[in-house]
Amino acid sequence: MQLGIHLPHIGRKAGPDSIRRAAIQAEELGFDDVWVSEHIIVPKDAGYPPSANFWDPVLTLTWAAAVTTRVRLGTSVLVLPLRHPLPLAKELATLQNLSNGRLILGAGVGWLEAEFDALGVPFKQRGRRMDEGIAMMRAVWTQDPVNFEAQWIPATIRDMRAQPQPVQPIPIWIGGGSDAAIQRALRLDGWHGTRTPPEQAAALVKRLRAERPGPDFVISLRVTCNQHNVALMRDALAVYQDAGVQHVMAAPEDRDIDSYLATAEAFRRCGQGL
């Protein structure tokens, strides 16, 4: 089973030195990948997310890519309906090429309606805009020239060019536990779930493998950990592995960088031998 770690680009521990140290540590410890999340703008008194200090995910991964050579670079997740697919496709293709093909696009529809309102994006159209956005990005990544008929996203693309195209395909893993999210994931390259306790993993894996049995479809889970519970993670990881989960990414909850680094190291030790 492969293991990833979330970078410290959120909250008071976020910063260029923290991100650099965490990315280098992840590579040295043998993690398979490093990850980031996304919120663009949040309500002042929101109970969640706990901090409005979200450093941009694509730029954060570019910073991490510059100080590493091996670890993959993942998003957990980009809220695709909030972004116009054309500039995002350009950013992701550039990152894929700068990193020599290490990017994994974890994507979700989003849930914070106020964030959609602030950006002028219809919240109730987010699923349709996400599907169309993925199709549009895949078109500009693979066609030259590109033609695309858009219905939900303002775009007119007729016999146009978008360079550079990715040096290799960017895998798309879909986050979310709703039926719509799972069905969307099954049409793409992987499922990146959250809040899935170990005792529920086997049933979810069985459901996904009934439709996508091949190794080309990745089943990934995101978990949280901190210095108080990381010792319990080895048993949980063993259950996930036995259930058929291929990848687990841990998001340390520690608020300062030294505690984060210690938790990341402890989590990696928990996964040794799995």
Query: Hey, which residues are catalytic here?
Result: 39, 113
Whole-angstrom distance, CA of residue 46 vs CA of residue 53: 13
Residues 6+ apart with CB under 8 A from 205: 219, 243, 244, 245
Using DSSP bridges, classify how beta strands 2-6 and 33-36 pair: parallel, antiparallel or unpaired: parallel
Whole-angstrom distance, CA of residue 191 vs CA of residue 61: 20
Backbone angles phi, psi at 117, to 5 degrees: -60, -40
Residues 6+ apart with CB under 8 A from 253: 224, 225, 226
Q: Which SS3 state, helix, strand or coil, does residue 26 take?
A: helix
Whole-angstrom distance, CA of residue 139 vs CA of residue 136: 5
**157, β-bridge pairs:** 148
Residues 6+ apart with CB under 8 A from 158: 147
Name the nearest CA neighbour of 27 among 59, 4, 61. Answer: 4
> Looking at residue 220, what DSSP letter applies?
E
